[in-house]
Amino acid sequence: MAPPRKRALPKPLPEHFVLTDAEKKEWRLGKMIAQGGFGLIYLASRDVHRPVAADTDFVIKVEYQENGPLFSELKFYQRAAKPESMQKWKRSRKLDFLGIPAYWGSGLAEYNDLRYRFMVMDRLGSDLQKVCDDNGGRLKKATVLQLGQRMVDVLEYIHENEYVHADIKAANLMLGHRDHQQVYLADYGLSYRYCPDGVHKEYKENPKKGHNGTIEYTSLDAHKGLAPSRRGDLQILGFCLLHWLCGSLPWNKVLKNPTQVQEAKARLMDNLPDSVQRLSVSGASTDEVAAFLLYVKTLGYQEKPDYQRLKALLTGVVTGTLDFSVPQRPAGASTAKVQDPPTREKYEEDDSEEEEEEEDEDDEDEARPRPIPACYLRGPPIGPRAPSKQKGEPTRNARKSNNFTVTSERQEVRPQRRKPDCDQVHPEFRGRWDERPLLYSRRQSYESSSSGRSPEQEAGPTQKNGLLSWFVCAGVFFVLGTAFGANLNH
């Protein structure tokens, strides 16, 4: 089902214009009362000799002939919603009412060289969306459950006649013109024949057709680009029931991103029934809607639903009449709003916070002084170290040894020209000698001027002193050897 293309509205027809349908019945146009995305809606009357009364029971939808939605709706009524078929169905199911608007005729017309298609329908009243808006976005639980049962009856009928609606929402549920207790599922412009000649469409995902329909309620199948199916219709209805009961949906804040909406719906369906039961904000539980969606989740793409079981799941506190008054919040009920599920950005933000906490812990571990291996304290001094480049005042853990203050702070130092012997190196520090060096600093109380020795002498023998000692020893042995040789010659 490709998304409908945006087309210009048709130019209005004049009031009192007479149309003749395919069965040669004449209809007189009255005042234009509405316009949709594709066409215009006029009051109409069978009496072509008098002006159309304001309380007439008929309306006529008008579109340009080449437009698709009215043609699709017309085909649905001609194939699946014939008056005699609906009457037979109601008798077989023992129903007093079936919420599908009556179809009275259709045809083509021409005006000012423009060709129009029209369809005559029952006049309906206000839509359910307006009722919800007037009630703060919510309906009473008993009303929601009863609406769900009535819509299951409608869906069972159209499914048995090889069609799915594919666009169930409050704006397409219309109250009766004279009896507001009657609710109709209208607007079959996006209806789809899912099972032509008894052969169900195959399961075939098409990303190019993904996310079709009204984004708030469209099914997960539609998000994946699958053709509409019976389980898709029921899932859409379940999302609608949840919205009417709670006043909002968990994905309301990400409607501009269809992929995030799909992910949020998938999370809700994967975590049933808890994910729906947690959304109750009015003191009335959502258990019935959770059970409804849980059953829909078990259906296969081509599987026929058990409609009577679905109606039983919505029994709850259903009463005989629909109450569209503002639902009252029970005393002590929570006033919290429906919480949105975490979005992808929220998960990434949480992950980054966890990483920052781990980095802070690592920094604390690195800043905490470690105990000094004993071999360092017993070994010979290894010469002066370069001054630390660390900013700020370091935290010192000092101890005294051989008139020097030994600190175990971490400092950056220049590499030494000479490393101590391996037997003096702690095994864990052989490969990274300068990772946590020792700093030898002279006591402030030590008076170097009194000794007259340089810092190098204070630190211990260096490489230069060692070479000098070697040459002295070699010279002594050379002199002794020369003297001994001379004595032998004499």
Residues that are catalytic: 167
Count CA within 13 A, CB hemisphere, residue 399. 11
Dist. CA 247–CA 130, nearest whole Å: 13
Residue 287, token pair as written in the block: 């258990």
**What are the backbone dihedrals phi and psi of residue 252, each rounded to the nearest 5 degrees, phi first?**
-60, -30
- Nearest of 14, 113, 10, 117 to residue 60 by alpha carbon: 117
Torsion of Cα atoms, 398 then 400 then 403 then 408, to 10°: -40
Task: Give the separation between CA 103 and CA 32, rounded to whole angstroms.
Answer: 19
**CA 27/CA 17 separation, integer angstroms:** 8
Residue 64 parent element (H or E): strand 58-64
The secondary element (H helix, E strand) that includes residue 448 is helix 448-451
Measured CA to CA, the distance from residue 34 to residue 60 in angstroms comes to: 11
Answer yes or no: are the C-beta atoms of 341 and 262 closer than 8 Å. no
- Among residues 241, 71, 233, 234, the alpha carbon closest in space to that of 166 is found at 233
**Taking the CA of residue 328 as centre, how many other CA atoms within 13 Å lie in the half-sphere pointing to its CB?**
3
User: Could you tell me if 184 and 124 are in contact, meaning their C-beta atoms sit under 8 angstroms apart?
Assistant: yes
Edge to edge, the sheet with strand 114-122 lists: 18-20, 26-35, 40-45, 58-64, 114-122, 103-111
- Terminal-to-terminal C-alpha distance of the chain: 125
Q: At residue 59, what are phi and psi to the nearest 5 degrees?
A: -135, 160
Contact predicate 153/234, CB 8 Å: no
Two structure tokens written together for 423: 């037997």
For residue 106, what are the β-bridge partners? 119
Whether the CB-CB separation of 337 and 248 falls below 8 Å is answered with yes
